[in-house]
Structures are given as structure tokens and as C-alpha cells.
């Protein structure tokens, strides 16, 4: 039952009308106890469904189970989540009501600096398993924002991710721009995202403005020129009314050169975009280093002065067991630079 379609089929087999099904899905995805909706359930659900509900709820709760939890000083909390077949993925509860979820076990893109990319793709995470990560997070803390920045490339599991996003943006009660689809960029994403009833915000993992370097760092990402990626992201951002987030994992001596800064200015100035600079979090046995905080701050200040709205993510709390520091980076509090001249 790891897809939402399985859950819906089971509800339909129990005689649930679409509105009943939506009600049950709302209780589940909001992690509301069954009795919090008791009156509504009693009033509206057919008896057969009411009787089956405890069993169904138990099955939904078993989709994603908390295996371990590691709290960090910055208020984030990394959750190791066990799925029903024994596979494990990560979710991170972020400060201020955010939750970072995984879309795949492993990832086929193989970015050179990413822990997840090292193991290749193991399996897709089902749409119900994605919503179950949110329900699990909500059982621990309120969640108002969901970012797809955990394990996996959402573009490679597009149907499941969009199914989950559409449920979270409706029954799940999460604002559309608080659902953040993070991707290395893929034509299918730019086609699919504008079509749905729930349009998530877009985070584009760019990392470099140089086509050759991007092919080296993100070996199995689609070969789309950085300028074309930014153009497509900008179009989507203007259509939705919320800015594109451009993700830049800052690697010392790799993508922090003057040439790159000039490239960023050329690509992003005047765009409806925010540049998120995230100093690299170390992964065991990889040769990369993060620049000093002073250097990263100087880069962000420079770009800001040149009209590129830049946020430097403070990556405190990257001391995570298992080397999954990249997830911690999402917990970071953005450091803003003055004057705040928004690009565009």
C-alpha cells in the first residue's frame, strides 16, 4: 500500500465516497488522532468504513516508522525513517515548522559531493510513503512547510512526488509555495509542474554556471545549459508568483571563483530568484572542502551588491552521524545582507 492510489482503492472498496476518502486522508496527513474527527466521521462515513478505520489507520501508520532521532543545537532534528519493507530514508524536522523529506532511496544522478548519490538508486519512494513521512513529522511537531531536499531526485520519481504534493497541498493543508520541489533540472519537471492544481515552489540545484563543470559535478543530470535551466525556472517562478530558489553548494576552489561569480551575476541578475549558498558539508572520503565562513560571507555580500538576492545558509549543526550533513544544511538560518536589493 505504498502508493496513494492503493489507499484510495482500499477506501473505495470500503464504500467511501471521494469526500469521505478526502476526510480520512486529511486526518492521516495531518497526523490528527482519529477521535479528533470523530463527530465528523460518525456523521459522514458509512458504517463499514468506520469499522474498518482502525485497521486502515494502523496500516497507514506502519508506512513510515521512526527508527531513530538525532536532535541538533540549531533546533533541527534528523529522523531516520523505516519503511514497511525495511528500507530506511531520512527526514529532517527544520526549525520554524519545516520538514525535509526524501523522494527516493539512493539517487541515480550521482553528484560528486552528495552522500546519497554515492549508492545509486535503490528504489523509488511511493506517494503514500512520502505523505507518511509528513504524517510522522507532524506527530512530533507542527509542520507548515515541506521541502523535497532529502534523499533522491524528485524529477526521477515525478508521478509519485506530484501525487504526494497534490495531497499535501489540499487535504494536507500546506500552502502551495510552502511545498518546495528541489531538482537538478529536467525538462519533464518544467512541463509537469505548471499543469497541476497544486504548483510547488521550485528550487533549482545549479552549483555552477559552467556547462563542463556541471557535467563533471552532476554526472547523470540532464545536459541542459545552466542559462536554459535558469530561463525555464524563471518562467515558472513568474507564472506561479513565487521566486525560484537557486541552490549552490559552495565547494572551495571548485565553484567559488571570480569567473563563477561573474557567471552568477550574468545569469541571475534581474531574475525572479533567490540564490541559496550552502557551504559544503563534509562527506567521508570525498576530496571537497568548504570555504571559510568569512570567504563565503564575502561572496554572498559581493553578489548581493551586484543585485543578486543571496542568502548564505549557516550550516551549524552538521555534526550528524552517518555523514548526512547535506540534510542538516537545510536547517540553517539564512543570513541576510543589507541592503536587501531584490533581483528583478
Ligand X SMILES: C[S@@+](CC[C@H](N)C(=O)[O-])C[C@H]1O[C@@H](n2cnc3c(N)ncnc32)[C@H](O)[C@@H]1O
Choosing from 130, 143, 184, 244, the residue that interacts with ligand X (CB under 6 A) is: 184
**Closest to 311 measured CA to CA, from 233, 227, 250:** 250
Q: Under DSSP, is residue 315 helix (H, G, I), strand (E, B) or coil?
A: coil
Question: Does 202 participate in binding ligand X (rule CB under 6 A)?
Answer: no
Of ligand SF4, ligand X, none, which one sits near residue 276, judging by CB under 5 to 8 A according to partner kind?
none
Q: Which three cell numbers stand for residue 141?
A: 511537531
Question: Does 183 participate in binding ligand X (rule CB under 6 A)?
Answer: yes
Write the CA distances from 103 to 89, 161, 187, integer angstroms.
Answer: 9, 7, 18
Per-residue string for binding with ligand X, 95-114, x by CB under 6 A?
------------------xx
Write the CA distances from 273 to 185, 231, 256, integer angstroms.
Answer: 15, 11, 19
Question: Does 314 participate in binding ligand X (rule CB under 6 A)?
Answer: no
What's the CA angle centered on 112, arms 107 and 113, to 5 degrees?
Answer: 95
Is residue 111 annotated as part of the catalytic site, yes or no? no
Instruction: Tell me if 64 sits within 8 A of 46, measured CB to CB.
Output: no
Of ligand X, ligand SF4, none, which one sits near residue 4, judging by CB under 5 to 8 A according to partner kind?
none
Looking at beta carbons only, is 283 or 309 nearer to ligand X?
283
Choosing from 126, 152, 226, 233, the residue that interacts with ligand SF4 (CB under 6 A) is: 152
Under DSSP, the state recorded for 66 is E
With cell 551549524, the residue in question is: 316
Question: Does 4 participate in binding ligand X (rule CB under 6 A)?
Answer: no
Is residue 107 annotated as part of the catalytic site, yes or no? no
With cell 492544481, the residue in question is: 197
Q: Which residues bind ligand X (CB under 6 A)?
A: 113-114, 116, 149, 153, 182-184, 205, 247, 249, 278, 280-281, 283, 325-326, 329
Q: Which residues bind ligand SF4 (CB under 6 A)?
A: 107, 109-111, 114, 116-117, 152-153, 184
Q: Residues with catalytic annotation?
A: 90, 324
Amino acid at each position: 500500500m505504498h502508493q496513494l492510489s492503493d489507499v484510495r482503492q482500499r477506501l473505495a472498496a470500503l464504500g467511501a465516497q471521494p469526500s469521505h476518502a478526502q476526510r480520512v486522508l486529511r486526518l492521516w496527513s495531518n497526523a490528527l488522532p482519529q477521535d479528533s474527527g470523530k463527530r465528523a466521521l460518525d456523521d459522514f462515513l458509512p458504517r463499514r468504513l468506520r469499522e474498518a478505520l482502525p485497521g486502515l489507520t494502523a496500516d497507514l501508520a506502519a508506512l513510515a516508522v521512526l527508527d531513530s532521532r538525532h536532535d541538533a543545537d540549531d533546533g533541527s532534528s534528523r529522523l531516520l525513517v523505516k519503511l514497511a519493507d525495511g528500507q530506511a530514508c531520512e527526514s529532517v524536522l527544520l526549525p520554524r515548522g519545516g520538514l525535509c523529506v526524501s523522494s527516493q532511496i539512493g539517487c541515480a544522478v550521482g553528484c560528486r559531493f552528495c552522500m546519497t548519490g554515492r549508492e545509486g538508486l535503490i528504489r523509488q519512494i511511493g506517494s503514500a510513503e512520502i505523505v507518511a513521512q509528513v504524517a510522522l513529522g507532524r506527530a512530533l511537531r507542527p509542520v507548515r512547510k515541506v521541502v523535497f531536499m532529502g534523499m533522491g531526485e524528485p524529477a526521477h520519481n515525478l508521478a509519485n512526488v506530484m501525487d504526494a504534493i497534490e495531497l499535501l497541498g489540499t487535504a494536507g493543508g500546506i500552502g502551495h509555495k510552502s511545498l518546495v520541489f528541489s531538482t537538478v533540472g529536467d525538462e519533464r519537471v518544467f512541463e509537469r509542474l505548471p499543469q497541476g492544481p497544486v504548483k510547488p515552489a521550485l528550487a533549482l540545484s545549479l552549483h555552477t554556471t559552467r556547462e563542463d563543470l556541471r557535467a563533471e559535478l552532476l554526472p547523470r543530470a540532464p545536459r541542459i545549459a545552466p542559462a536554459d535551466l535558469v530561463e525555464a525556472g524563471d518562467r515558472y517562478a513568474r507564472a506561479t508568483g513565487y521566486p525560484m530558489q537557486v541552490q549552490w553548494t559552495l565547494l572551495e576552489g571548485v565553484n567559488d571563483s571570480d569567473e563563477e561569480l561573474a557567471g552568477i551575476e550574468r545569469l541571475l541578475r534581474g531574475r525572479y530568484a533567490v540564490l541559496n549558498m550552502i557551504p559544503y558539508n563534509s562527506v567521508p572520503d570525498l576530496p571537497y572542502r568548504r570555504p571559510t565562513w568569512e570567504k563565503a560571507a564575502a561572496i554572498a555580500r559581493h553578489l548581493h551588491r551586484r543585485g543578486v538576492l543571496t542568502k548564505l545558509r549557516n550550516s551549524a549543526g552538521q555534526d550528524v552521524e552517518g555523514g548526512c550533513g547535506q540534510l542538516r544544511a537545510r536547517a540553517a538560518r539564512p543570513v541576510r545582507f543589507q541592503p536587501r536589493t531584490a533581483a528583478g
